[in-house]
Amino acid sequence: MDNINIMVYMDNINGLKEGKYTVKRFASENNLGKQSAINLLSKLKKQGLVEVTGGGKQKRIYTIHKLPKKRTNGFYDIVNKYSPEKLWPKFEHYVNGRYTVEQAIIDGIKIGDARTIEATAYLFKHVTNWKRLFDLAKKNKLEKQVITLYKKARETIKCRRLPQRYMK
């Protein structure tokens, strides 16, 4: 029974246009009732073809894509979470597994433009594993840049203290 439903939904995907919809507009353009439209949007959302924004006092806006969109979980998500200086992503960064603040600091230094480095400085507030940070820095030959960025961050931001053994 489930296979039949999946085929029906796949047929519906071919007939759908990409774009932004409210439930009412989606239902009227696809000749569906309101509840049928909500059910179809829910199924498409589970398949990764629909992103939802809004809700609460705002109307929900459903963005439909032809190909599934995977959520990013990389550098820009971490920086925008912890830094008051928000960055617009220059690229989509996908990471399998855990992506830590320490890895984000190294990636921010590698990207290297001024705004990215300024925003990356705020991440020193949230470093929990200094050994991991300096192992990554040593691996990428960025120890001096990490220390200079830390000193710069320490002047402007209240952040955690770097253990003395890493100050060279």
The strand pairing partners of 21, in sequence order, are 62
For the chain, what are the domain ranges?
A: 2-64, 75-166
Domain with residues 2-64, CATH architecture: Orthogonal Bundle (1.10)
Is residue 64 within a helix (H) or strand (E), and if so which, with residue range?
A: strand 61-64
Q: Could you tell me the pLDDT band of residue 10, with boundaries at 50, 70 and 90?
A: low
Contact at 8 Å (CB) between 84 and 114?
no
pLDDT at residue 1 greater than cutoff 50: no
Q: How much is the pTM?
A: 0.66
